[in-house]
Structure 1
Amino acid sequence: MAVGTVLTTTPATSAKTPRPSRGRGGMTKKRSIDWLLLALVIVGALAVIAPFYLVLVNSFKSPIDYATSGPLALPESLDFSGIVKFWERVNFPEKVWNSIFISGVVAVLAVLISMLNAFAIGIGRVKGRSWIVLLFLLANLLPQEALLYPLYYMFKEVGLYDNVWSVIIVFTVIQAAFGTYLLSSVYGTFPKEILEAASLDGAGRWQILWRVVFPISRPTLSVLLIFFFIWTWNEFLIPLTFLASNANQTVPVAISVLQGDRLMDVTTTSASALLGIIPTLIFFLIFQRTLTRGITSGAVK
């Protein structure tokens, strides 16, 4: 008699690793830090937005509306008399063109000189390059007030006083000093393999600069170009000193000169500040994507 054996299989229970329990205290601490950072960001945003709000609101008020409602209230009706008064009083299109011309020429020349200097120092490996970079750093630390008297007499002697090119020369040197200091450290870490490969292909120094170094460092140069333009646009002391005539003045100088005018009121002053902000805001919005790409280009290899 054969005895049949029946094999029964029982499903194996899969062993599950228990998940580590998260402590509530850590989550509460993390949430508290997040709320604190959010509150600080909101306070900072309000501190930045408040002056723009005051300028925008008071630019479209009449003097009577400002006197009755105060600086924080919205205008009862839009009044463009302050904008028209400032526009006609200072010949605003002329001042905008002066600022655009000076800032644009300074930005282009400063970036070009910075790239050439940094190429010689960072890639060319000139002797004593550490001391040269230190010299450029010290040049950035000099206050503008220390440069006024010697530059004033120098431009008087060469006939460039009350000429836009005097301001262009000064700011080109100042901005190029900072650009050289920044780009020298960037070009100092440039991959040697790329330079050696270009040399083996028969490329000279100029070809290496314009066909290898310049395309790779273009995002950084774009950021410098935008910063140099905005920094030069906002400069006040040197243009005020060297541009005496009304036809050569820039936008910041034109706004400040009218502060003591007896015909000026708060609404016209706010309108002048608003008109002075609009060109730089438009420039920033146009080149915002270029600025973002240039800043984040070094984060991803």
Structure 2
Amino acid sequence: MSATAAQSPIKPRVRTRRRRDPSSHMVLVALIVLAAVMLLPFVIVVFNALKTPQEYGANGALAPPEGFYLQGLKDFWERVDFGRKLLNSIIISGSVAVLAVILSVLNAYALGIGRIKGRLWILVLLLMANTLPQEALVYPLYYLSKQLGIYDTRLSVIIVFAVIQSAFGTYLLSSVLGAFPRPLLEAARMDGASKWQVLWRIIVPVTRPTLSVLLVFFFIWTWNEFLIPLVFLISNDNQTVSVALGVLHGQRLMDATMSSASALLGILPTLIFFLIFQRTLTRGLTAGSIK
């Protein structure tokens, strides 16, 4: 038996490839087409930003550039002092994202874990606050900032957007913390942990993926805001990128290549920010579905 077993050759395992369903190929093709359609406007903007005005007039907007004409980008950067506008947007958006996440965590901890009285009504008010148009908030906030002496400062916009964004963050995190495992909290309290220790050492680390997603969303949402920064930031030194683009197009005549250059410079920072934190978004969105 042993000799026979020793002489018998061992058959190698043959891996069989699974045949993909034709519907999966159709879905893949549809996604590729959809991605191409979504990227087409960005490609056209890049093409036109790298053209000369004469080339744009001769070949049109859809033709690829014959070379790399960077003078339009340089002229727009110097005309609006884009470096200062970029710094203002980074400071405002970053500060709002951090402050809004902190406020959301503190509010949601009181509503979701503390179970304060009137919790349901507070959540309803926060949900209604998210539906209010900014046009209805501009004048009261403008009058309040004038009274406090912070009008035409970056601090005024940071405070306004931190409160607005935290309303959505509180509503979202309250539902997450409402389903937080109670035995874990009780075990921490039995070990002598205070409320602050439970919050910062247990709840925040567990909900870190959700907080990271909120941080990214708050940054991008604040970066793209236009109306409130337009009303509150009237001096040239305090304006953000979105306000600078809107004011420049409204007051001065620019050629098509410089307009494309302004659009390209306006969208590149958010695109780079999104690509850097893409893994953070993916992990945060899938963390709740994986046990």
Query: Aligned letter for 1:112?
Result: I
Query: Aligned letter for 1:54?
Result: I
Match of 1:224 among 214, 219, 228: 214
Q: Which residue of 2 aligns with 1:80?
A: 70
- The answer to whether the aligner puts 1:244 opposite 2:244 as a matched pair is no
Once the two structures are superposed, what CA deviation does each residue of 1:243-281 show, in whole Å capped at 9, x if it has no partner? 101111101111111113444111001101111111112
- The answer to whether the aligner puts 1:188 opposite 2:185 as a matched pair is no
What percentage of aligned pairs have identical amino acids?
63
Match of 1:47 among 23, 29, 37: 37
Once the two structures are superposed, what CA deviation does each residue of 1:133-164 show, in whole Å capped at 9, x if it has no partner? 11111110100010011111111222121111
Q: Which residue of 1 aligns with 2:277?
A: 287
Once the two structures are superposed, what CA deviation does each residue of 1:74-131 show, in whole Å capped at 9, x if it has no partner? 1112111110110000111100100000000000000000000000000001111111
Distance 2:219 2:162 in 1: 11
Q: Which residue of 1 aligns with 2:88?
A: 98
Alpha-carbon shift at residue 37 of structure 1 (Å) = 3.9
Q: Which residue of 1 aligns with 2:138?
A: 148
Once the two structures are superposed, what CA deviation does each residue of 1:32-81 show, in whole Å capped at 9, x if it has no partner? x5566445434432331111011100000010000000000011121111
Q: Within 5 A, what are the aligned runs for 1:249-288?
A: 249-288=239-278
Q: Which residue of 1 aligns with 2:17?
A: none
Distance 1:205 1:157 in 2: 37
- The answer to whether the aligner puts 1:115 opposite 2:105 as a matched pair is yes
Once the two structures are superposed, what CA deviation does each residue of 1:160-187 show, in whole Å capped at 9, x if it has no partner? 2111111111100110000000000000
Query: What runs of 5+ residues in structure 2 fail to find an aligned partner?
Result: 1-20
Distance 1:75 1:262 in 2: 25
Q: Which residue of 2 aligns with 1:25?
A: none
Query: Aligned letter for 2:157?
Result: V
| Cα distance change of structure 1 residues 262 and 103 upon mapping to structure 2, 3 Å threshold | closer
Q: Which residue of 2 aligns with 1:300?
A: 290
User: Helix, strand or coil: the match of 1:280?
Assistant: helix
Q: Within 5 A, what are the aligned runs for 1:197-216?
A: 197-216=187-206
User: Helix, strand or coil: the match of 1:199?
Assistant: helix
The normalised TM-score by structure 2 is 0.90
Query: Aligned letter for 1:109?
Result: L
Distance 1:213 1:78 in 2: 51
Distance 1:77 1:133 in 2: 56
Once the two structures are superposed, what CA deviation does each residue of 1:173-227 show, in whole Å capped at 9, x if it has no partner? 1100000000000000000010000011011111100111111011110110011
| Cα distance change of structure 1 residues 114 and 262 upon mapping to structure 2, 3 Å threshold | closer
Query: What runs of 5+ residues in structure 1 fail to find an aligned partner?
Result: 1-29
The normalised TM-score by structure 1 is 0.87
- Looking at CA atoms only, which structure, 1 or 2, has the larger radius of gyration? 1
Tell which deviates more after alignment, 254-263 or 78-87: 254-263
Q: Which residue of 2 aligns with 1:20?
A: none
Match of 2:152 among 134, 147, 162: 162
Distance 1:120 1:143 in 2: 27
Query: Aligned letter for 1:187?
Result: L
